[in-house]
Amino acid sequence: MKREPTFFESISCFIFLGLVIGIGFGYFGIPIQPLLLVAAAYAAIIAMRVGLSWREMEEGIIVSLKTAMPAIFILFSVGIIIGTWIYSGTVPMLIYYGLQMISPTYFLVTAFVIVAVVSVATGTAWGSTATAGVALMGIAAELDVSLAMAAGAVISGGVFGDKLSPLSDTTNLAPLVVEVNLYEHIKHMLWTTVPASIVGLIIWFFVGINTEYAAPTSGNVQSLLDELDLIYNWNLFMLIPFAIILWGAFAKKPVVPMMLLSSVVAVFIGMFSNGFTFIDGFTSMADGFSVGMIQAADFNPETLSENVTSLIARGGIFSMTTIIVTIFCGYAFAGIVEASGCLDKILEKFSSMIHSTWQLVGVTIVGSVIIIFTAGVASISIIMVGVLLQRAYAKRGLHAKNLSRTLEDSGTMLLPFVPWGVSGIYYWEVLGVSVADYWVWAIPCYLCVVFAMFYSFSGIGIAKADRQDTAEMN
């Protein structure tokens, strides 16, 4: 006989998850993947108690994994694009000239703006951090800028652009779930996103002018420039792969096909510009670029500095393996707790305690945080919390765009802070900085929630629902 889980049974799954990960990962340093499977095993025990069979749990995991497939496709494409863009010289070229143009004093501000522009154009925080972000991290390393600060600014710019881009999946999903016009949703998000970003820019600016950095013409930087000069033959064709991504964004083409097209073009550019072999070009798609592919005359791999080696020897599909495995382990837990009804039970409990606007916004934030720290992706939190609380917003006479905005403030913006989540592991793999190091510098990401709560208390930036909308919902 099947039954609903009790609130204690439901919340115990998340308490157990927090304890296992906090102690195992945080204290003992155990890899996150087996810990997620241990948490999934506990969730399975609770699911059996409420009457679910193993087949039903499997179906729940499969359903959850379906929501992750677009992200997995992007991950594979990102691995390919990093390897081929280094092979073609696109990323090294951006680093090469960026080192000579970007002032270290204003690096954090510049990094945020550059990645934000690319992210708005492409609609993906992952794509912008894997391209412009990777180049900027290379520049930061050579300018002696804190990598934690640099990663915080880069990730903030990526998430900022992703949140406000009409091409972003979550930016389209949130208004779709709560039945709000896309551009009305984006306009309403400016209330939280813009002031949070301004605060971040101000802090990064003052940190920059009060910190001493290595001069762009210092010996280590010049040495890196000389080594890159030896490997690559700089030309404007190297910017074509980047231009393809931007064109696809403005033409509203699907992201993954554009990334793959850009990668194929990058292979041919690497062949003709740098003299690399055709086979190595496609090898870079799978295994990433390696020093052994360099064909420059009189080049001795043993003389290459560690800085340059770590900068260019990366990418490929297989570099995304850890992230993909983590997704499957995380969704084993998420699928079971969703199929057993534990998520619904917790959100219903929270919604019953709502008596004011600030409580409603607070429940939206708490519910979203619970789900993203469980599932590791924003799409599930947007769908579940959006559907469950849509009527509650209408009953209080609030426009649904308040809900769609808060779903992104507490989902899209906070997702980079989940160490075992898809984004947290992705940024660690691509940028080389852990969540524990960069979170404090990703200032706009957590300030959006602060502004959301401030508006809910003060009434500023809170849109009232049309009478017709309220009547329809009631």
Q: Is the pLDDT of residue 198 over 60?
A: yes
C-alpha atoms less than 13 angstroms from C-alpha of 325 in its C-beta half-sphere: 12
| pLDDT at position 26 | 66
| pLDDT at position 314 | 79
275 in the Ramachandran plot: left (φ > 0), alpha (ψ -120 to 50) or beta?
left
For residues 427-452, give the mean pLDDT.
90
Q: What is the phi/psi pair of residue 464, to 5°? A: -85, 150
For residues 390-405, give the mean pLDDT.
86
Q: Enter the tokens of residue 434.
A: 């852990």
Locate the domains of the chain by residue range: 7-67+321-473, 68-320
The band of 150, judged by pLDDT with boundaries at 50, 70 and 90, is: very high
Q: What is the pLDDT of residues 363-395, one digit of tens each?
A: 889 888 887 887 666 776 777 677 677 777 888
| pLDDT at position 266 | 94
pTM recorded for the entire structure? 0.69
- For residues 403 and 389, is the Cβ–Cβ distance under 8 A? yes
Cα–Cα distance measured from residue 318 to residue 329, given in angstroms and rounded to the nearest whole number: 18
- For residues 122 and 255, is the Cβ–Cβ distance under 8 A? yes
Q: Enter the tokens of residue 7.
A: 């609130």
Q: What is the pLDDT of residues 278-330, one digit of tens each?
A: 899 999 999 989 888 887 656 677 777 776 787 788 788 988 787 778 778 87
Q: What is the pLDDT of residues 151-173, one digit of tens each?
A: 999 999 999 888 887 657 677 77
| pLDDT at position 271 | 93
CA-based nearest residue to 379, from 182, 171, 217, 73: 171
Cα–Cα distance measured from residue 417 to residue 410, given in angstroms and rounded to the nearest whole number: 11
- For residues 409 and 448, is the Cβ–Cβ distance under 8 A? yes
